Structure 1
Amino acid sequence: MRVQHITVDCAEPYELARFWSVVTGWPISEIDKPGDDEVLIEPPDPAMTELLFIRVPEPKSGKNRVHLDLVPTERTRDEVVTRLLDAGATLVADHRTPGGRGWVVLADPEGNEFCVEKER
């Protein structure tokens, strides 16, 4: 088995896909446009799992049962956290330690939590 998509239910698929495009650096699919009920962002490697955003009528309720843990590849964790906060993320919890380890929990513009871990 291969996981084709990680699907995110949301109110505004294109807007949320734009945020996650900034997070990942992956482009929104050329066939998707504002107002679409499903919007895909495509990783650079077709073997990687895609992120799919689908419009649903109900709002998010409660904590995510599944979330993404992201590891920076070209910047430090702290630089990435600052960039994502500037892009519209909100800080949920800061678990960084004085020694530089730990992670930061952020939420996207619709409240979906994700973590940014220390760079490797």
Structure 2
Amino acid sequence: MALRFVQVNFNASDPSRLGRFWADALGWEVTNDDSYEVNLEPAGFTYPEPSALVIDLVPVDDPKTVKNRVHLDLASHSPEHYAETVRRLEELGATRADVGQRGDETWTVLADPEGNEFCVLEPREAYQGTGPIAAVAIDCADPVAQARFWSEATDWKVLDADEDGARLHSSAGVGPYVEFIPTPDEKAVKNRVHFDLRPYPGDDQAAEADRLRALGATDADVGQKDEPWIVLADPEGNEFCILTAK
């Protein structure tokens, strides 16, 4: 039994507007836009497959108040593409963001129109085949323990893990990475960006939730009512959803 990372979920004050920004930023398509959610996918994508983690945006009333613990890292292919990507994103409405960086980093920290921080990375060999999203990065206290939990929760492999950080990649070796970044900051509020996971066809959603609880996940209350998904939190309190099998 294993779960699949299938999408990154953004809480948004204006999902349509934010969805248009991210669709333009990534070169993806808006495949659904209604009062309930906005969905973004690469052109020609067959959901769900590991070559991409698609984006789902849902409306919320609460405003963003602190730096997100989960953010996207965007890939670039050359110094020219890196500079052009930063310029283009700023033209789309991104702004420079201060997350405590020293100023000598080789990447650029931006924020989308609702203040969600993200990074544009300088060209790196490891990210050349990931697509526009190089990685989904998660702040944490213990990268090794977090990588172990998420690898056991899913079928993704730990590529490296130590106190300086950890990385997971799909068992198919394609698509973006999931990375755990050590930080002294403690989680204070519900994450505005989180993972949605799905069981494989034929696997049982409730059984998967029980399996993750045995690994250290806990039930989480984010105001859900009778939705068909199960909301849990990982051992460091990061919320995620287990969707039905598909």
Instruction: Please indicate, yes or no, whether the TM-score normalized by the shorter chain is above 0.5.
Output: yes
Letter of the structure 2 residue corresponding to residue 79 of structure 1: E
Q: Which amino acid aligns with 2:17?
A: E
Q: For the residues of structure 2 that align with 1:95 and 1:25, how far apart are their CA atoms?
A: 30
Judged with a 3 Å threshold, the aligned counterparts in structure 2 of structure 1 residues 56 and 70 are, in CA distance, closer, same or farther, namely: same
Between structure 1 and structure 2, the one with the greater Rg is 2
Question: Whose relative contact order is higher, 1 or 2, with alpha carbons under 8 Å and at least 6 apart?
Answer: 1
After superposition, the C-alpha distances for 1:85-110 in whole angstroms (9 at most, x for unaligned) are 0000001148775xxx7100000000
Structure 2 distance, partners of 1:72, 1:58, is 33
Residue 86 (structure 1) aligns with = 91
Q: Does 1:67 align with 2:75?
A: no
Matched residue of 1:28: which SS? Answer: strand
Choose the corresponding residue for 1:51, options 50, 55, 62: 55
RMSD of aligned alpha carbons: 2.0
What is the CA deviation profile of residues 12-46 of structure 1, one whole-angstrom value per residue up to 9, with x for unaligned ones?
001100000011101001x425xx23101012433
Question: 1: CA distance between counterparts of 2:7 and 2:65?
Answer: 22
Instruction: Give me the whole-angstrom Cα distance separating, in 2, the residues matched to 1:19 and 1:119.
Output: 23
CA distance in 1, matches of 2:4, 2:102: 32
Question: Percent same amino acid among aligned pairs?
Answer: 39
Moved more, 60-69 or 86-95: 86-95
User: Aligned AA for 1:51?
Assistant: I
Looking at secondary structure, tell me which structure has more strand per residue. 2
In structure 1, stretches of 5+ residues that fail to align are none
TM-score computed with the length of structure 1 as normaliser: 0.84
- Change in CA separation of 1:3 and 1:26 when aligned onto 2, cut-off 3 Å: same
Shift of 1:8: 0.4
Tell me, in whole angstroms, the C-alpha distance in 2 between the residues paired with 1:90 and 1:24.
16
SS of the residue 2:70 aligns to: coil
CA distance in 1, matches of 2:76, 2:20: 19
Look up the SS of the partner of 2:85 in the other structure: helix
Deviation at 1:72, TM superposition (A): 2.0
1:25 to 18, 24, 27: 27
Residues in 2 aligned to 1:96 and 1:77: alpha-carbon distance in whole angstroms? 17
Q: Which residue of 1 aligns with 2:123?
A: 119
Cα contact 1:95–1:103 (8 A) shared by 2: no
How many residue pairs get aligned? The number is: 114
Extract structure 1 runs of 4+ deviating beyond 3 A: 93-97
Match of 2:36 in 1: 37
